[in-house]
Amino acid sequence: MAVNQSNFTAGIDVGGTKTFVCIADSQGTPVLKKKFPTLKGTDPDVFFGWLFTEMHGMLSKEGLQTEELSGIGMGFPGVILNETGILTNAPAFSWPATDIRPIIRKYYDGPVYLDNDVNMAARGEHWKGAAQGKRHVLMITIGTGIGSALIMNGDLYEGADGASGEIGNWVLEASYPSHISRKAGEEFGPFENVTSGTSIGVFARKYFCFGERVSSIMDMAGGRVDRIEPLHVLKAASEGDQSALWIMESPLNHMAMGIANAVSLLNPQLVVLGGGVAGSSSFYVNEVRRRASKLTPLPLHIEQAELGNEAGAFGAIAAVRAKMSSDLDSRGSHSR
Amino acid sequence: MAVNQSNFTAGIDVGGTKTFVCIADSQGTPVLKKKFPTLKGTDPDVFFGWLFTEMHGMLSKEGLQTEELSGIGMGFPGVILNETGILTNAPAFSWPATDIRPIIRKYYDGPVYLDNDVNMAARGEHWKGAAQGKRHVLMITIGTGIGSALIMNGDLYEGADGASGEIGNWVLEASYPSHISRKAGEEFGPFENVTSGTSIGVFARKYFCFGERVSSIMDMAGGRVDRIEPLHVLKAASEGDQSALWIMESPLNHMAMGIANAVSLLNPQLVVLGGGVAGSSSFYVNEVRRRASKLTPLPLHIEQAELGNEAGAFGAIAAVRAKMSSDLDSRGSHSR
């Protein structure tokens, strides 16, 4: 592998809708950022051809070449372990299990670090966001679905099979809930079915199906129940709309219970809430914090994520920089 | 500190009822074991005077002296961090917050490692029991109360304030359970109130208060409701007694939910169940495993602890041996 001197690294957050590319200089400072609508409906070869062409265009405007990058980190909306590089369970693409690294190798042969998007976002918040300097962090993203990632002893903790953080599957029912456990093929788990942005939208549309109610949610949705979006509910709730507050009760209580239980188990220094629902206003995070604090005797610190949708790309830069530095260490000690 | 050549270490598990002392040779093989009824109702000075006198008697029979021990590990039934050495929340002793190390120093000036009993038991199971060779382990002890400990990346994980594993506080109710969250001064948390051995006994005594029922539980209790013990219920349940099975439904379901949720979050290689309830028969562990497996899509491995009430003393030996070895490493690297 050619050693190059530029020390620019790329972080790429591949999302179901948008793909965000960020280039950082040798100090890790982001110097170029660009967001592309994700190319969908193609096979992996075409997708990565597209991605590297876009990045090439972005770099060449600054007189840089892809091969000058000293490393690339990439986060994906699916299950992937850096060790294997096999992407599975990525509903945004309808690819079969895909071995990513050989495809990337057609365009770039330097160090590559691959992980799922939530782990990358947690790395980003740990590197430059809300979780800077914290050794033990639980990050939860509340958007279309629910994701989570753990930083323990200052490092990402991935679990025995790289499957840690699958909290969408949490079950929080007092009666034995065999009927709500996740069925094979179901996209969402029980906790996700109550707390995700998707479920907030479903609850709201059901709520307004039962008849006329005065609510700013209906105004935002243009009077049409089928056009109610989760963020309408969150905005209305933050302004004190009674219907919105009623709809948010169950999602907020379940999220508070889940977080309190995780805190009782893990005693983290910080819980970071990211994703569109948590980022909608301070209402959501404040309400979760207020409710969760009653449900665990342990110290509870909950903060909103700071990097928004840049966290994943920043985390991808942090991941590949950490990998390059540890590779350097191990080469160093071997040669001693 | 005098360097000594014996390389014997002591592991002491201070329990509310029994105190177990184990001496291991230089290979870590236990060579002496003794269990004493714990001296209660005294102040810390008298307690440790008693403890070291008992250990002196035990050692001198073999021609050994306390000062010849190359290290002592001690587990306590309360909250304690090795870094501070302050024991708090130990209901078995009615001591105020107690700085343990200066008292031990009156009798022994070698390396000492202090931790709570559940962490020590997890270390024991990791060193010589059910969790040997596993890097990511959740251990839960189900006895009078509920305790838990985490081994992550091969090491005990203690959390930001040394308070990880406080799962007795878990809240598993679908409706917002402000009324069942732990109140200040309450000994047990909500999860503990449903799953502990104590609660199994309470459920059973309530059950039989409602009138005559044919059950082997009543036979074991000599026909007296007030004499029903948790282990009567577990024994009867393992033999198919219908009343016992009915009583165990809620404790088993809640334990299964809690474990499934922890597995979805942490993806451990193994969950080890210890304590008197889990150790009563294979019925308990088998039932928890069967129920929990329906509640998480992640790989689920649940095993019974192997070391019984020796786990804590073994873990205390493992802890002080690990500390001695890491102290040696850091001294080694400083002198290079």
With cut-offs at 50, 70 and 90, classify the pLDDT of residue B304. very high
| Burial class (CB within 10 angstroms; exposed 0-12, middle 13-18, buried 19+) of B245 | middle
pLDDT in tens, A241-264: 999 998 888 889 889 999 999 999
pLDDT above 50 for A146: yes
Chain B positions touching A166 (Cβ under 8 A) are 264-265, 267, 296-298
- All domains of chain A in start order, with CATH: 9-123 (3.30.420.40), 131-305 (3.30.420.40)
Q: Which residue has the higher pLDDT, A176 or A324?
A: A324
Compute the C-alpha angle B285/B265/A159, nearest 5°: 90
ipTM value of the model?
0.86
Report CB contact under 8 Å: B295, A181. yes
Q: Which residues contact B164 (CB under 8 A, 6 or more apart)?
A: A265, A266, A267, B149, B150, B157, B158
Q: Assess contact for B268 and A160: CB atoms under 8 A.
A: yes
With cut-offs at 50, 70 and 90, classify the pLDDT of residue B318. very high
Q: Assess contact for A215 and A244: CB atoms under 8 A.
A: yes
Amino acid letter, residue A209: C
Q: A167 to chain B, minimum CA–CA distance in Å?
A: 5
Those of residues 280-309 in B touching chain A at CB distance below 8 A are 291, 294-299
CA-based nearest residue to A117, from A9, A41, A231, A20 = A20
A152 Cβ under 8 Å from any chain B Cβ: yes
Cα separation, B4 vs B242, in Å, equals: 60
| Burial class (CB within 10 angstroms; exposed 0-12, middle 13-18, buried 19+) of A41 | exposed
Report CB contact under 8 Å: A189, B152. no
Mean pLDDT of the region B130-141: 96
Most confident by average pLDDT, A256-260, B53-57, B159-163: B53-57
Report CB contact under 8 Å: B136, A159. yes
pLDDT above 60 for B115: yes
With cut-offs at 50, 70 and 90, classify the pLDDT of residue A296. confident
Least confident of A91-95, B240-244, B305-309: A91-95
